[in-house]
Amino acid sequence: MTITDKDFLRTELEMGIGFGNPGFEALASMTADQVRGLGHSLLDYGAGTGVYAKAFHDAGFDVFIWEKFDAHKEYIREHQPHLRIIDEPITTDIMAFIEVAEHMTDKELNALFKKIKPEYILFSSTSQKTANDEAWGHINVKEQSEWDAFFMGKGYEIYKQLTVPTTWAKIYKRK
């Protein structure tokens, strides 16, 4: 059984994935530093608790948030009311796509990248299958080489391998 958005948020907050955790906030800040100079506008797609979005905002980016879950949007509005939550994803210079793609079907991913075409994608998605994937909504866990092939098929190339926010993070650049 898949958990609700409120359960998902509660679990994330219990794990320290939220505002008020200096370690997680520092990770988000280091992540934002890695895309400095690549553009001005940034879409945080599937922003979760909004900690990365705040770090991007603090780093000087014009940030737009697209988040599916109402509980997460409410949490962001409560803690960072100045952050802009939008109803539909838009094309920006950079798209932060951090630990979201594994929650989307290939059909949903194809539709998204038909609609928007960011210049850069800061991407991270686990390749580790676990017993909890179904409960967490991990419906599309791919090997990193499969993600590379997916983005190459969308007209992107690997621009830079990263070490944060995860060891499998990277930046793709549109060809």
For the segment 41-46, the average pLDDT, to the nearest whole number, is 97
Distances (CA, A) of 49 to 18, 98, 167: 6, 12, 21
pLDDT tens digits for 115-172?
Answer: 999 999 999 987 776 666 566 666 666 889 999 999 999 999 999 999 999 999 999 9
Cβ 5 vs Cβ 137: under 8 Å: no
Percent of the chain with pLDDT over 90: 81
Q: How much is the pLDDT for 154?
A: 97
Q: How much is the pLDDT for 126?
A: 78
For the segment 6-24, the average pLDDT, to the nearest whole number, is 94
Give phi and psi for 132, each to the nearest 5: -95, 5
Instruction: For residue 38, give every residue at least 6 positions away whose Cβ sits within 8 Å of its Cβ, in sequence order, or none.
Output: 93, 94, 119, 120, 171
Average pLDDT score, the chain: 92
End-to-end CA distance of the chain: 40
Instruction: For residue 47, give every residue at least 6 positions away whose Cβ sits within 8 Å of its Cβ, in sequence order, or none.
Output: 53, 65, 66, 67, 72, 76, 96
* Gyration radius of the chain's alpha carbons: 15
| pTM (predicted TM-score) | 0.92
Q: Is the pLDDT of residue 51 over 70?
A: yes
CATH number of 5-174: 3.40.50.150
Q: How much is the pLDDT for 140?
A: 65
Domain ranges of the chain: 5-174
DSSP label at residue 171: E
Q: How much is the pLDDT for 104?
A: 87
Antiparallel, parallel or unpaired: β 120-124 and 170-174: antiparallel
Q: Is the pLDDT of residue 1 over 60?
A: no
Q: Cα–Cα distance between 115 and 22 in angstroms, integer?
A: 36
Q: Which of these, 123, 49, 69, 62, lies nearest to 90 by C-alpha position?
A: 62
Lowest mean pLDDT among 40-49, 67-76, 132-141: 132-141
